[in-house]
Amino acid sequence: MTGIIITVVIIAILILLAVKSIKVVKQSEVYIIERLGKFHKVADAGLTVIIPFLDKVRSVVSLKQQTFDITPQEVITKDNVTITIDTVVFYKITDPAKAVYEIQSLKKGIEYLAITTIRDIVGKLMLDETFSSRDSINDLLRETLDEATDQWGCKIDRVEIKDITPPADIRDAMEKEMNAERSKRALILQAEGEKQSAITLAEGKKQAAILEAEAQREAQIRRATGEAEAIRKVAEAKAEEIQKVYSAMKKANPDTTLVQLKSLEALKEVANGEANKVFIPFEATAALSSLGTVKEVMKDAEEKQELEKK
């Protein structure tokens, strides 16, 4: 019976030793192992065996990216305005041993360092600059914190300002200023629109007047060109007609009497016009006297023929 009890005790001791000796480290975690109170090793993810009563797990360190909300802080700007800034820090542990042994509390160190850095940066800025310079403030915070926490085995990935809250009276004044600025911009835009509309309308009228003047000038040019072309064609036709008449008369070899008769015919056409008076040139009177002589000669010839018939 005693032997059975001893066996059970030994088995229990072995199980206890196995439990104490075998450690399973999860993914994205590491164990800081100490031996006799001194740092021994960093156990990575997987199965790890330690010596019971000699080794112990000092700390379990996560290698994931972690977030840390900094307590909202009241900060005084360069123009003596107290504002409240809410900040969040994104960090990752790169050296677990340093994160455990180089600082008492990593999160407390990051928080205090972030608070002092925020007060230093914002204290050099005016109130308006704190709202318009969030990106630059974030970058300065990240660079400062990353440089300071490097000795703690920590990497600062990002620092983001979640909110900047000014006092109530300052917020009301800013809202009124914003409304006034919006009204001013609206009036400016309206004035610019009316100005642009007037300019566009004037440009349209000017362009229309120019186009109308050009159209009239083009019409006058074409009308004058058409009239000149018509006159030229009429002149050419008249010249051709005169040339034909002249050629015909030249071929007929007219005597002086025929020419004078034609002159009288032309004179008749002139007399049929709307003029009240007709001036007969001296050459025409000579033609008229010749016609009288011809008439007498023809009359004597007719009387002579009648006598011969009797």
The model's pLDDT over 140-177, given as tens digits with 9 standing for 90+, comes to 999 999 998 999 999 999 999 988 888 887 777 777 77
Partners of residue 160 on adjacent β-strands: 88
The separation between CA 16 and the C-alpha centre of its own chain, rounded to angstroms, equals 75
Q: What is the pLDDT of residue 12?
A: 80
Q: What is the pLDDT of residue 310?
A: 55
Q: What is the pLDDT of residue 93?
A: 93
Q: What is the pLDDT of residue 275?
A: 47
The separation between CA 264 and the C-alpha centre of its own chain, rounded to angstroms, equals 88
Kindly report the length of the chain.
310
Paired tokens of 162: 């979640």
| Alpha-carbon span 59 to 123, nearest angstrom | 39
Q: What is the pLDDT of residue 156?
A: 93
| Alpha-carbon span 83 to 125, nearest angstrom | 12
Name the DSSP letter for residue 45.
S
For the chain, residues with pLDDT lower than 70 are: 1, 242, 245-246, 248-310
Name the DSSP letter for residue 52.
T
Q: What is the pLDDT of residue 235?
A: 75
The separation between CA 138 and the C-alpha centre of its own chain, rounded to angstroms, equals 31
| Alpha-carbon span 64 to 257, nearest angstrom | 137
